[in-house]
Every structure is written in structure tokens, then in C-alpha cells.
Copies of this chain bind each other. A is one copy, B any other.
Amino acid sequence: MIRLLLVHDDNLVRCALASLLAVHEDFGVTTVSWAELTGGPAQAAHGEAGLWLLDVACPGSAGLAEAVARRRTEGAESAGLIVLAPAGRPGLLHRAFEARAQGYVSKDAPPERLIEAIRRVADGGRYVDEGLAYDFLSASRMPLTPRELSVLSLAADGAPVPEIARSLWLAEGTVRNYLAAVIRKTGARNRVDAIRIARTGGWV
């Protein structure tokens, strides 16, 4: 029996994916929202699952690192981690890789590929969907530094330069230099364009 914990923001999609998996009689599927996983009290189901299946395109998946940290404190360290990600958003894959996911399945893949990934990771292996290979390459060539990404991420939330400077303990001129570097490196036309490019790629 492979015990799966399926995490997605939307109940309808959770139920739909669970119904897709339910035809495999050796899968036991529990579903939760990202909010339940990261915000609520730890539940037995989180720890019991041998494999977590996470949709990292959900807004709630910003809590990925926290969820994985909690998984570890719950003693479920050995559980496998599979992420569902849309193509074209390498930043999401990067985040999942940092959380040490073993399986990566494109949301555009045929269901058979998800099943294959589940069996592979449940057996202790790794799985990378061919539909995401190009994004992994893009992720490895990301030109921005973590500090530049933090600055851009605050700017993307609408914070003005003085506020970004205060948040990160930087001088305002330094923040402006970081933003100028981001615009140059991403080939953006301006700050708004740089934010758009980074957001489309799933980086901020």
C-alpha cells in the first residue's frame, strides 16, 4: 500500500486528482489544502503518508519550505516528495529541488507519468518528467543572486525603495543598484517588466 498525501489549494482539483489515483488499488490517498498543511496543527495523516504529492503552482505553495521542515520534525523524514509543476516556471522547480523533492511531474503530462513517478519514488528512486527538462536547464542558468531575488520579491509586493532598504538593512542607493542589476541581467525594459519576467518564471 502506498500512502499518499495530496496537497492542492482547490478542493475540486484535489478531489479530481484523488479520483484519478483511486483506480489504483494499492494507493491510499488523503488530501489537504496548503493552508491545512502549513497553517493548521499537524495531523496524523501528514506523518503517516509515505509520499507527499504537492502542486507547487498553487499560491499556497509559498509554504513549501515550512511544510517540509514540519515533515522532518514529525519524524516523516523518509517520506518521498513529488511535485506537480507547470512547464515554463523554472523558479518553482528550483524551490522544490531546494526542498529535496525526488519526483518532478509536469501538470501537462499524461496521468501515466504521474503513476510512474509515484511508483518510482515509493521504491526510493527519482523521477524527472521529460516535459520539465528544459526548465531544469533554465533554472541552472538563473542569472540573479539570492539577494537580488529578495530585493525584487519585495518590490513585486509593491514595497517602495525606502521600505525595501529598511526590511533588508540596506542603504537606499544599494537597493536601487540591485534593482538596476536585475533589470540589466533579465533584459527587462524597466522595473515592472523585470518583476513580470521573474514572476512568469516562478522566481518571485
A residues adjacent to B (C-beta < 8 A): 9-13, 15-17, 19-20, 23, 84, 86, 105-111, 114, 155-160, 188-197
What are 24 A-B contacts defined by CB distance under 8 Å? A9-B86, A10-B108, A11-B108, A11-B109, A12-B17, A12-B108, A12-B109, A12-B110, A12-B114, A13-B13, A13-B107, A15-B110, A16-B19, A16-B111, A19-B23, A156-B192, A156-B196, A158-B190, A158-B193, A158-B194, A158-B196, A160-B190, A191-B192, A192-B195
CA distance A73 to B157 in the complex (A): 42
Give chain B residues whose Cβ lies under 8 Å from the Cβ of A23.
19
Residue pair B111, A12 in contact (C-beta under 8 Å) = yes
Closest residue of chain B to A193 (Cβ to Cβ) is B158
CA distance A196 to B114 in the complex (A): 33
Which of A13, A23, A192, A197 has most B Cβ within 10 Å?
A13
Residue pair B156, A10 in contact (C-beta under 8 Å) = no
Residue pair B158, A189 in contact (C-beta under 8 Å) = yes
Residue pair B15, A155 in contact (C-beta under 8 Å) = no
